[in-house]
Amino acid sequence: MLKFLARRLGLALGILFVLSILMYLLLDVALDPLDDLRTNPSPNRPVMIANRVAMLELDQPVWVRYLHWLGRFVQGNFGMAWRSGQPVNAILSTAIPTSIQLVFASTVIAILLGVTIGVVSALRQYTAFDYAITFVSFLMYSLPIFWVAVLLKQFLAIGLNDYINEPTINWMIVGGVALVSGLFWVGAIGGEPRKKLMVFVCAFAATFGVLAYALLSGWVQHPSIGIIGVSLMALATAFVVSVLFAGLNNRRALGAALTAAVVGIGAWYGCQWLFFYVEMSMLWMLGLLVLAIAVGALIGWLWGGPDRAVSMRGAVIVSIVVSVLVFIDRVFQGWQQYSQMGTIRGRPIATIGAETPGLGGDFWITQLDRFTHLLLPTIALVLISFATYTRYQRGAMLEVMNQDYIRTARSKGLPERLVIVRHALRNALMPLASIVPVDFIAMIGGAVITETIFSWAGMGRMFVTSLAQSEVDPIMVYVMITGGLAMVANLIADFLYAVIDPRIRVDA
């Protein structure tokens, strides 16, 4: 293991060194820091040019400037953005968290949706559902992100803000969404015609009823979850997790999941007191999440069962979901106060920026403001990246389902759920192990186009701005960070291969 890590680390450092040399030479050829001064009509233009040449050391050979930059970089001094006079270290301290905040949620959501729908599409191969998912995936994959962003701004942000101020219900749209929901669940579940009809009617009625309630009750103007919503979703999560990972025959796993849900529902009351009397922060939120995971693991361990790990896994997943629901519920409790603030003026869905300037408010108002600014770019990134994960997972699942060991598992009489979840899905995740770590690490590099369109001051926008202003130091830091993290992602992928498939050894 140590030899493997040492070999990969040495190779990574060598590649980064060569990359830094090539990029510095290319930037020296491509960028012209004196471009704006060459056409300057000022009479002291020669003096200005001489001062800038001296400041940027342009009178030195390129290899000397590179060695000076490399020496500063190794010492942790990333240089200066000379046009603004800001140290690159200070810019990175805000750009990196902004990019992570923007891309993290969209990456997680896209992976979960893509894997789930990809598996279902593979199990329903050559059905209308499979063809529809394939068409939608290719459509989403081909859409340019800037066009999607403009449509979201127009029809979601502006349209939803207009609706909040002047509610008018379009029942045709409600019926259309309910119809699509019914067809989706019919294709996903499948079965005999009678079963399909029942699924369609139930899904259509449920979707239509939920949308009608949300519109008629004013939920859209004043969204909330409440203890009833938290309870229903917690119990539903416990049931779904038990069905997928343990089966209803495993009573202990089901009991562990339901116990975790009940404990989470009870914790909702305690959290309301805690949130009221204690000033919250993200450190508090992380601590409470860790506590919830520990409690869920303890519940699963106490319930035990044929496979104690299954009970613990289900209880932990339920605990995480309930914790997120409690957090979102508390954030939504400040919606009315947030909407009535003078800087918001009744139009809470933001179209640009990462936060509202001069907003004020406590921790919960700040989190709500971040959520409203994250909504549009997150949806845009999910729509684009969702298609990639769906196609990868569908292809991998189809290949695995045709393997001999799957037929053997079925011939032994194992339940179909067990064959898919325990035997097929794990091996079908192998291709995703190559791209998911890279996508997670790439969020440090930011989403260049998305950050530019939505005016997020992240890593991507820093790169574009520095490139336009011929600032070498920020560009080199961006290249080195993203290049280094890409190599880290490949190393993580190697370890994920070993976790998913025990036959693989990283020190082989």
Q: Write out pLDDT tens, residues 407-464.
A: 888 888 888 888 888 788 878 887 777 777 777 776 666 677 788 888 888 888 888 8
Taking all residues of the chain, what is their mean pLDDT, rounded to a whole number?
86
What pLDDT sits at residue 323? 95
What does the alpha-carbon distance between residue 215 and residue 174 come to, in Å, rounded to a whole number? 10
- Percent of the chain's residues with pLDDT above 90: 26
Reference 370, options 99, 93, 101; nearest CA is 101
For 163-196, how does the pLDDT look when each residue is reduced to its tens digit (9 = 90+)? 888 888 888 989 999 999 999 999 888 888 888 8
Question: Are 423 and 406 contacting, i.e. CB atoms less than 8 angstroms apart?
Answer: yes
Residue 502: pLDDT over 70: no
pLDDT at 301: 93
Q: Measuring CA to CA, which residue among 387, 392, 365, 265 is closest to residue 319? A: 265
142: pLDDT confidence band, cut at 50, 70 and 90?
confident
Query: Which strand (E) or helix (H) includes residue 270?
Result: helix 251-277
How far, in Å, CA of 252 to CA of 244, rounded? Answer: 14
What mean pLDDT is predicted for residues 44-49? 84
**Does 506 have pLDDT greater than 60?**
no
Give the per-residue pLDDT at 504.
61
Q: Who's near 106: CB < 8 A, 6+ residues apart?
A: 377, 378, 379, 380, 381, 382, 385
- Amino acid code (one letter) for 316: V
* 241-256: pLDDT as tens digits: 998 888 778 889 999 9
Say if residue 147's pLDDT is above 60. yes
Listed by start position, the domains of the chain span 1-83+471-505, 168-217, 226-340
Is the pLDDT at 507 greater than 60? The verdict is no
Give the residue-averaged pLDDT of 389-418: 86
pLDDT tens-digit series, residues 294-342: 999 999 999 987 778 889 999 999 999 999 999 999 999 989 889 888 8
Query: Which uninterrupted H or E stretch holds 81?
Result: strand 80-81
pLDDT tens for each residue of 337-374: 898 888 888 888 888 888 888 787 889 999 999 899 88
pLDDT, tens digit (0-9, with 9 covering 90-100), for 51-71: 888 888 888 888 999 999 999
* Cβ contact 394:129 at 8 Å: no
Beta bridge partners of 81: 86
